[in-house]
């Protein structure tokens, strides 16, 4: 799980009745991060600073949240909580916490009037632990579904999943909030045997009733963390390879209505070949996606 990487902590806030929530990943001092968006409809906060050419190298926390764009307000609570602890990028006016946020669309299930906000983000931050974390329909995955391309009535439960790949002293872990338009493809199975192309194309060309259009508003988001020593460019390449893991485990993926986005974080303790970390990231993400659905189902 993501907390296998030393110094990384994870906390959830969940409203099980409204089927929404948020998940906060707190990072150790000195963590470097970048990210990649491949879905056509992302919702993010502070995403531009993840680009390798930007000034700020550190990231203090990543917020994964339900509530669509409304849920980005959860980041405010995390910023406030970290500022009170003196955590953040140093400025002459005091430390400014660097908190990256990314949302998924869960307004089509549960109670859409309930959305994570500052108090909920703070609660998830205060609940963060470095040990074994809960997975399944919790936190940002509380209202997640998968397979909605078949129609909302046939969608299955999604949720939070996490997995770790190790090689010697190098650790690469993923935590994914799986809210996918596509189906989850089991390991060792060809996508064609899970998602029939004729049925998929027919569904996409069917004239799209309103309920189906709502079902197409999906997103899978997550964090990959490693104890490898990488710079921001290396983290960007790891985030790109992490999306390969999504492509292995979801079919279809990265559609125009998805907001698929992954943040890759390096804590910098272990030397490791960059391409090895990238391969491990793809495996960890695919396993985390499958684990989310196994637990939720």
| Phi, psi (rounded to 5 degrees) for 113 | -80, -15
pLDDT at 206: 62
pLDDT for the residue 195: 76
Classify residue 54 by its DSSP letter: S
- pTM exceeding the 0.85 threshold for the entire prediction: yes
Q: Residue 258: pLDDT above 90?
A: no
CATH topology of domain 2-296: 3.60.70
| Angle subtended by helix axes 74-84 and 118-126, to nearest 10 | 50
Query: 243-255 pLDDT, tens per residue?
Result: 999 999 998 888 8
What is the mean pLDDT of the segment spanning 222-231?
97
pLDDT the model gives residue 296: 66
**Residue reference for tokens 């980005």:** 72
232-249 vs 274-296: helix crossing angle, rounded to 10? 40
**Within a 10 A sphere around the Cβ of 194, how many other Cβ atoms?**
15
The mean pLDDT value for 206-220 works out to 61
Enter the tokens of residue 242.
């992490």
Question: Where along the chain do its domains lie?
Answer: 2-296
Residue 4 confidence (pLDDT): 96
Who contacts 112 (Cβ-Cβ below 8 Å, separation ≥6)?
none
């Amino acid at each position: 799980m993501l907390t296998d990487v030393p110094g990384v902590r994870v906390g959830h806030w969940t409203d099980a009745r409204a089927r929404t929530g948020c998940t906060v990943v707190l990072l150790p001092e000195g963590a470097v991060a970048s990210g990649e968006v491949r879905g056509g409809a992302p919702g993010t906060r502070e995403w531009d600073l993840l680009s390798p050419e930007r000034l700020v190298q550190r990231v203090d926390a990543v917020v994964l949240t339900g509530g669509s764009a409304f849920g980005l307000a959860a980041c405010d609570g995390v910023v406030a909580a970290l500022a009170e602890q003196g955590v953040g990028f140093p400025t002459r006016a005091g430390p400014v916490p660097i908190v990256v946020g990314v949302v998924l669309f869960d307004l089509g299930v549960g109670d859409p009037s309930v959305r994570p906000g500052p108090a909920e983000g703070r609660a998830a931050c205060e609940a963060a632990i470095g040990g074994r974390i809960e997975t399944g329909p919790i936190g940002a995955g509380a209202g997640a579904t998968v397979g909605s391309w078949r129609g909302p009535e046939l969608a299955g439960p999604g949720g939070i999943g996490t997995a770790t790949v190790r090689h010697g002293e190098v650790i690469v872990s993923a935590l994914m909030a799986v809210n996918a338009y596509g189906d989850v493809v089991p390991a060792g199975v060809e996508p064609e045997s899970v998602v029939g192309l004729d049925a998929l194309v027919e569904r996409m060309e069917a004239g799209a009733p309103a309920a189906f259009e709502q079902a197409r508003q999906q997103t899978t988001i997550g964090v990959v963390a490693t104890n490898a020593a990488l710079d921001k460019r290396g983290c960007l390449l790891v985030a790109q390879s992490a999306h390969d893991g999504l492509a292995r485990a979801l079919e279809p993926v990265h559609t125009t209505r998805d907001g698929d986005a992954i943040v890759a974080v390096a804590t910098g303790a272990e030397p490791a070949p960059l391409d090895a970390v990238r391969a491990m990231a793809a495996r960890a993400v695919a396993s985390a996606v499958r684990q989310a659905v196994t637990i939720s189902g």
